[in-house]
Amino acid sequence: MAKLLVKLQRYFRRKPVRFFTLLALYLAAGSLVFLHSGFSGEPTVPGSQRSPGAGEGPGLPYLGVMQLSRGFKAAVTMPEGGRRHGLRFKSTSKEPVERGKAGDYGSTRSRALRSRSGREKEEDRARYIGCYVDNTRRRTLRGVSFFDYKKMTVFRCQDNCAERGYLYAGLEFGAECYCGHKVQASNASESECNMECKGERSNTCGGVNRLSIYRLELAQESARRYGSAIFRGCFRRPDNVSIALPVSQLMLNMSVDKCVDFCTEKEYPLSALAGTTCRCGFPTTLFTLHEREDEQLCAQKCAGEEFESCGTAEYLLVYQTQVQDNRCMDRRFLPTRAKQLVALASFPGAGNTWARHLIELATGFYTGSYYFDGSLYNKGFKGERDHWRSGRTICIKTHESGQKEIESFDSAILLIRNPYKALMAEFNRKYGGHIGFAAHAHWKGKEWPEFVANYAPWWATHTLDWLRYGKKVLVVHFEDLKRDLFVQLQRMVGLLGIAACQDRLLCVEGQKDGNFKRSGLRKLEYDPYTPEMRKMISGYIKMVDTALKLRNLSGVPDDYYPR
């Protein structure tokens, strides 16, 4: 063997061109094998984060290396606060069924048998009602829709539709999910719903222009929706109502459904019921939807539906339709290179991606990242591919916390979140993806205690480092941003040097959730924090609270101390 190796070595020394040719062919062949095995569907690269450098604070954990993800997810989410059936109806929330197992295609008959067995077990949560015809021009289910061409499951579709308050969830083409309150098509043969779900072998997810439809028993009450509309509240009629809500229609047989459908047809995002008059418009400075009134002031029965409320001439009952408010949807790169680098800094799990979504809608400019996350790029964060020093983005996402990294930025928005919530959110992301959930085994196994031991100190040192080394730091608490989005977003946009249009900010309020809001239906049934964990985390909270107050800032919110 040794003689053979010596002969090969001498041969390639005499003819190096052949050596390099063979090497190139070997690398090319390896690359083709890798591409064939790795890129099924849309390849994405989740965010890689660097391990702490020598200059970073003590106790900072290693965040992992860049890994290849072979899934493509595109979820369309809707704002919170929707309400089903006006003021008078209450729904009984039931959690959707358990997630199925992943797999490949099998026979139509065996899939149907397995699906039927699974459906019988899930009857109390979601009931399969059949295979239906769908039309790309006029959908059978006309609510929210989303697609996942790698990991779609029946559970995931049901979960997303139920969380948004819809009555029906339909799956099509193995990877598409549609939600709605009405099934507006005819039945098809069960044999035509013959495509397996991309993310599970045991269930059928429709077919070509065919929907496998489930009736959800029933969507959670907190969604508060009527049909595909979201309940916004009861409001006093604006002074210049004909300007604030420019389109109106007299409806003697008024119902919520009729008014919502009318405004949807007219392509307005707001539907306001005023007794027997239906009004449509946009949220503007004339009608901000910031000052809600007691809902009983709007509790006048609809002429066309006695169990619904339709408001009065003075107090309007407002719903948000499925029409997208496009006043804040345009985004682009900065026209000239930014003179300063602004960080959007946060501990992982503190809502950085959500804050980026809000900033992009409010300013009209893309945000960048210290890392590269292919799944975020595929979701529309086009600044993700730019180098963080390119100067083409309005601010830069970062989780770094070392002195050298912090001093690379000229100013920063520091987003802080309750550590109990942030740790759980990051643990879910780490083991379940951006909108997924960690498995029960991860919570009960050794992963969770090790995660808390490593990441809890980092939650504190991250904030302390930015307060110490940051040149110009605006502190924003995640809880305040969620509670008072309009005011907090104005502060953030102000630091970025952008004069935000009021109407644009109002548009953002109506589309605040973005694509990375986790479903509220998959919450743990127990508290994962042990007394020892609580004691440790409480100490870190007090440390951060003291540091904020020493800089004449408000301390951490009261709900950081729930124990």
Provide the pLDDT for residue 164: 67
Provide the pLDDT for residue 12: 65
pLDDT band of 262, cuts 50, 70, 90: very high
Q: What CA–CA distance (Å, rounded) separates 238 from 293?
A: 13
Inter-residue contact 413 to 343 (CB < 8 Å): yes
Instruction: Quote the radius of gyration of the chain (alpha carbons, Å).
Output: 27
pLDDT band of 295, cuts 50, 70, 90: confident
Alpha carbon distances (Å) from 389 to 20, 352, 385, 395, 414: 37, 19, 11, 10, 19
Supply the angle between the helices 352-363 and 502-510 in degrees, to the nearest 10: 140
pLDDT band of 437, cuts 50, 70, 90: confident
Q: What CA–CA distance (Å, rounded) separates 563 from 420?
A: 11
Average pLDDT over residues 282-294: 91
Over residues 303-317, the pLDDT tens digits come to 888 778 899 999 999
48's tokens: 């890689």
| Range from 1-5, 72-76, 521-525 carrying the lowest mean pLDDT | 72-76
Provide the pLDDT for residue 222: 37
pLDDT above 70 covers a percentage of the chain that reads 75
Q: What is residue 285's DSSP assignment?
A: T
- CA angle at 218 for the pair 214 and 219, rounded to the nearest 5°: 100
Report whether the peptide linkage leading into residue 60 is cis, meaning its omega lies within 30 degrees of zero. no
The beta-strand segments (E) located in 338-493 are 342-346, 368-369, 396-398, 411-416, 473-477
Tell me what the pLDDT averaged over the chain comes to.
Answer: 79
Provide the pLDDT for residue 519: 54
Rounded to the nearest 10°, the torsion over CA 108, 113, 116, 118 is -110
pLDDT band of 46, cuts 50, 70, 90: very low
pLDDT band of 73, cuts 50, 70, 90: very low
| Range from 22-36, 205-219, 396-410, 492-506 carrying the lowest mean pLDDT | 22-36
Residue 225 pLDDT greater than 80, yes or no = no
Query: How many angstroms from the chain centroid is the CA of residue 180?
Result: 19
Over residues 392-406, the pLDDT tens digits come to 999 999 999 989 999
Over residues 124-162, the pLDDT tens digits come to 578 899 999 998 878 888 777 778 878 889 988 988 888
Q: What is residue 11's DSSP assignment?
A: H
pLDDT band of 353, cuts 50, 70, 90: very high
pLDDT band of 260, cuts 50, 70, 90: very high
Residue 274 pLDDT greater than 90, yes or no = yes
Of residues 91 and 123, more confidence is placed in: 123
Residue 288 pLDDT greater than 70, yes or no = yes
Beta bridge partners of 168: 180, 215
pLDDT band of 192, cuts 50, 70, 90: very high
Of residues 227 and 495, more confidence is placed in: 495
Average pLDDT over residues 47-65: 36
- Highest CATH level, class, for 342-560: alpha beta
Residue 119 pLDDT greater than 80, yes or no = no
Alpha carbon distances (Å) from 469 to 80, 370, 464: 37, 18, 9
Q: What CA–CA distance (Å, rounded) separates 313 from 463?
A: 51
